[in-house]
């Protein structure tokens, strides 16, 4: 090598890694935003059904949207949906058990339809007492998990989500934020945990499908490169 010449610097090893991390972060944000808006939409639709049947009652001064729902309900549900939808695939990776049961969008859409049906049944179907309704919705919710999930992590997260969401709802009702008609389980309806369980399974399935779609796109880009 001639004097005065300097060796050209080799390719930076950190470049691809930084690019990969940035891409994963962007995809994570995109998935979170998509899940948030899905949760907002479902909250507006499902809460409207509950209000029309006088299952939930909000004070007049907090009614503040075209869907006759308290303004804070859709954002809270959207945030919870984003957290749940991102948590499910994260737990799958942590446990080393990727969820592969019925991994297609048609199955996810059927899961959403069943969840909406379960919520609709809680507001529309009349039973002799709340115990019969609660047992029926519990069976339907477990059936939803068995049909579209069947993973131990999914069931465990669903139960945890149902418990935590029910406690938060009880605190809100206790502090007079809103109320349920004919409460029979510590200020709320006894079937409420079933709805939260089914909702957790549904958003978990959507989150898993979005994560799988992201992995496919990244794999295709890597193959092209």
Digit-coded pLDDT (tens) for 67-79: 445 677 889 899 9
> Is the pLDDT score of 36 beyond 60?
yes
> Is the pLDDT score of 110 beyond 90?
yes
* Domain extents in the chain: 27-51+71-224
> Is the pLDDT score of 201 beyond 60?
yes
Q: Transcribe 13-49 into DSSP letters.
A: THHHHHHHHHHHHHHHHHHHHHHHHHHHHHHHHHHHH
| Average pLDDT of the residues in 18-36 | 77
Percent of residues, the chain, with pLDDT higher than 70: 71
Digit-coded pLDDT (tens) for 141-165: 999 999 999 888 899 999 999 999 9
> Is the pLDDT score of 63 beyond 90?
no
Q: Which residues pair with 56 in a beta bridge?
A: 180
Q: For position 177, what pLDDT does the model report?
A: 77
> Is the pLDDT score of 41 beyond 50?
yes
2-6, 93-97, 219-223: which is most confident:
93-97
Q: How far apart are CA 22 and CA 37, in angstroms?
A: 23
Residue ranges of E strands in the chain: 56-57, 179-180
Contact in structure between 175 and 54 (CB atoms under 8 Å): no
Angle of helix 14-52 relative to helix 192-224, nearest 10 degrees, comes to: 150
> Is the pLDDT score of 28 beyond 90?
no
| Average pLDDT of the residues in 98-118 | 84
Lowest mean pLDDT among 8-17, 82-91, 168-177, 190-199: 8-17
Q: For position 119, what pLDDT does the model report?
A: 86
> Is the pLDDT score of 216 beyond 80?
no
Residues 6+ apart with CB under 8 A from 159: 197
Q: How far apart are CA 199 and CA 196, in angstroms?
A: 5
| Average pLDDT of the residues in 50-60 | 55
């Amino acid at each position: 090598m001639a004097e005065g010449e300097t060796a050209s610097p080799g390719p930076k090893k950190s470049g691809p890694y930084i690019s990969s991390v940035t891409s994963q972060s962007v995809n994570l944000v995109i998935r979170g935003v998509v899940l948030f808006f899905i949760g907002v939409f479902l909250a507006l639709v499902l809460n409207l059904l509950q209000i029309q049947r006088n299952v939930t009652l909000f004070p007049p001064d907090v009614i503040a949207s075209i869907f006759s729902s308290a303004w804070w309900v859709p954002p809270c549900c959207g945030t919870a949906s984003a957290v749940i939808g991102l948590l499910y695939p994260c737990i799958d990776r942590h446990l080393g058990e990727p969820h592969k049961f019925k991994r297609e969008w048609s199955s996810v859409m059927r899961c959403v339809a069943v969840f909406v049906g379960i919520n609709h049944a809680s507001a529309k179907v009349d039973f002799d007492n709340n115990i019969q309704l609660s047992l029926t919705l519990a069976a339907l919710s477990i059936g939803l998990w068995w049909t579209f999930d069947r993973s131990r992590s999914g069931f465990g997260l669903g139960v945890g989500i149902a418990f935590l969401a029910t406690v938060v709802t009880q605190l809100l009702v206790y502090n007079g934020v809103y109320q349920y008609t004919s409460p029979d389980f510590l200020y709320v309806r006894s079937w409420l945990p079933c709805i939260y369980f089914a909702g957790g399974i549904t958003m978990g399935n959507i989150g898993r499908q979005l994560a799988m779609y992201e992995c496919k796109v990244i794999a295709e880009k890597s193959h092209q490169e």
